[in-house]
Amino acid sequence: MTNRLHNLFGNRTVIFDGAMGTMLYARGVFINRCYDELNLSQPELVRSIHEEYLQTGAEVIETNTFGANQFRLVRYGLQDQVAKINQAGARIARQAVNQLKDKQAGMAWVAGSVGPLGIHLEPLGKTSLEEARAAFAEQIQGLIAGGPGVGVDLLVIETMPALNEAEQALLAAREIAPDLPVMALVTVDEEAHCLDGATPEVAAAKLASWGADAIGVNCSTGPATVLTAIECMAGASDLPLAVMPNAGMPRAVDGRNIYLCSPEYMASFTRKFLKSGVQIIGGCCGTTPNHIRAMKSATRAVEAQKSSAGHTARAPIVTETPPPPIDERSSLGRLIRDGKFVAMVEIVPPKGIDCSKELAGASLLAGLGIDVINVPDSPRASARMSAQSLCIQIQQKTGIETILHYTCRDRNVLSIQSDLLGASSIGLRNILCLTGDPPKLGNYPDATAVFDVDAIGLVNIVNRLNHGLDIGGNPIGASTGFTIACAANPGVPDIDNEVRRFAYKVEAGAEYAITQPVFDLRVLEAFLKRIESFRIPVIAGIWPLTSLRNAEFMKNDLRVAVPDTIMLRMQSAASPETARAEGIRIAQEMLETARPMVQGVQVSAPFGRYTSAAEVLAAVLPNVTVTKQDITEGTSVVKL
């Protein structure tokens, strides 16, 4: 052993305990209970499990606090009990260790278990890194309360699915308990990669750089995969190595999930772990005192090789492929770089397979001088032709460039990356990153939503792909070369949260923004002032209202800020034709006033009225021209 762990264990192999949850479940505690809360309500039950592990050879027992953080405890209404639950967990484990010393004069230690928060962190989720670090710090503070001999002897940050979360836990540990030994363990998939895609070598190098005293793998799919991962880690760091695998993958037997790896099987892998240089061994899900007893016996039978003298730390080399300058990625990027005012029109995909109307509309708009066509991704959670398909057809058949709207609603992080790689390969160069409307708003309210990430996380994924890396930091070759847009909604009630999320999107890599439809320019102006310190080019959304009912839908259903003056103007329209004309005039006025504030405008085409969008633009932009013949042709396009 080296560093702080040497003061506890010396240079010996150390045996940890096995699963706590498995044992609690076997004793009749249902899985819908908060297992961490048992430290308060059934401390003797928890203590009896600790004692059983100690009696079968475990030298370190972990506190029953794996999920004792505010984000997991809030599900049970226990978020204000973080300190009490963690203090009780340390106290119960300490009592079990002290009893062993009194009875057997043995030596054992208490490790504070710190598990993942159970949420996505920025940039893939809504929780900031600072909030995550604060939650870990709160838990660790409870585990060490009382000082040496009362609190824990070391910390085990375990089952970390993503390296950015492991980093925040390690930073919190070093801030709260700088002298306490800290182990950092990740969980891996069947390919021995972390769940965020990072390789074991990358994980080893980063965990070491963040201050871990020992690194390793726990949980995962079983000992075979853990062995593969730890062998990779051994070549990337000279820190002590730790493994605590599951007893294989669970299998459903008579309605219960059973872990089928026998104690003998786990013992056979213990010998393999030791020969690979592992110095700290224990068990995770499905392991019991019988498994630990067998693993202890296997350890005694093997003369463990001390890995600390044999490893040479070497950080893996990850080669990025930065994207070309924004003006070389797309025509839109060139317009943004040059500070030109951009004119966009939105074309919604059809609900069937016939997109002739949309293609005719795109061709008409291209001829009128529009710069880019925006294509939404199943807006309002409706089942439509894929935006990606319509984008590529518009580009191939009309020559005008498109912006692909892409939402997180329907895809996990695997399909997101697959889709984006495919989009880049077929020539799509502009992407608008959106969270997406939930299915309950659409025609299939019972459909399942995914939301592995939100818009912030999606921007981060696209930005990484633009630098030739997947979300795990693994090289993919050439840059995808997207121009990256994000959305902004200046009219939301909670503007502070909107500004905070917008800042995260910019930090994640957004290069320009497109707003939701704006009807109150005071709201837009106030929003632009709020984002001055992290301003990127902003494209204002403009919606030509078609009727009073359309205005009421905007205001009441979509919660867009529509001033009463505009509602009155639409109400005073005597006929559908005059209502549409009034809606165009309102949109033209907004565009003329907003133009000095923004770098472009996106005009929607309600109900496929593409010339209405062009009329709005033609009143202000000299390069956009609309004649009566265009309006006539546009009307015929609507009727296709």
Binding-site positions for Zn(2+): 219, 284-285
> Taking Cα atoms as reference points, which of 179, 238, 246, 178 lies closest to residue 207?
238
Cα distance from N-terminal residue to C-terminal residue, the chain:
76
Residue reference for tokens 């057997």:
104
Angle at 261 between CA 259 and CA 267, to 5 degrees: 140
Q: What's the rounded Cα separation, in Å, for the pair 96 and 164?
A: 34
Is 71 exposed, middle or buried (CB count within 10 Å of its CB: 0-12, 13-18, 19+)? Answer: middle
Question: What is each CA distance from 317 to 201, 236, 320, 473, 474, in whole angstroms?
Answer: 10, 11, 10, 11, 10
Look at residue 488 and give its three-state secondary structure: strand
Across-strand partners of 346? 374
Angle at 383 between CA 380 and CA 384, to 5 degrees: 100
Q: What's the rounded Cα separation, in Å, for the pair 138 and 73?
A: 13
Which amino acid is located at 298 in the chain?
A
Q: What's the rounded Cα separation, in Å, for the pair 61 and 152?
A: 10
Q: Could you write out the DSSP letters of every residue in 412-424?
A: -HHHHHHHHHHHH
Which distant-in-sequence residues (6+ apart) come within 8 Å of 105 by Cβ? Answer: none
Binding residue positions: 219, 284-285
* 159 phi/psi in degrees, rounded to 5: 55, 35
> Taking Cα atoms as reference points, which of 237, 229, 395 lies closest to residue 315?
237
Q: What's the rounded Cα separation, in Å, for the pair 91 and 104?
A: 20
Question: What is each CA distance from 21 to 161, 210, 280, 286, 526, in whole angstroms?
Answer: 19, 29, 21, 8, 52
Q: What's the rounded Cα separation, in Å, for the pair 132 and 171?
A: 10
Question: What is each CA distance from 518 to 489, 534, 541, 586, 619, in whole angstroms?
Answer: 8, 21, 6, 11, 18
> Taking Cα atoms as reference points, which of 540, 545, 536, 604 lies closest to residue 376?
604
Which distant-in-sequence residues (6+ apart) come within 8 Å of 131 by Cβ? Answer: none
Question: What is each CA distance from 227 to 207, 269, 271, 482, in whole angstroms?
Answer: 18, 8, 11, 39
Peptide bond just before 475 cis, omega within 30 deg: no
> Are 119 and 71 within 8 A, CB to CB?
yes
Which distant-in-sequence residues (6+ apart) come within 8 Å of 39 by Cβ? Answer: 46, 64, 65, 68, 85, 88, 89, 92
| Residue positions counted in the chain | 640
> Are 90 and 63 within 8 A, CB to CB?
yes
In SS3 terms, 324-361 reads as CCHHHHCHHHHHHHCCCCEEEEECCCCCCCCCHHHHHH
Contacts from 607-611 at CB under 8 Å and sequence distance 24+?
607/546, 607/638, 608/348, 608/357, 608/358, 608/361, 608/637, 608/638, 609/544, 609/546, 609/580, 609/634, 609/638, 610/345, 610/347, 610/361, 610/364, 610/365, 610/634, 610/637, 610/638, 611/364, 611/635
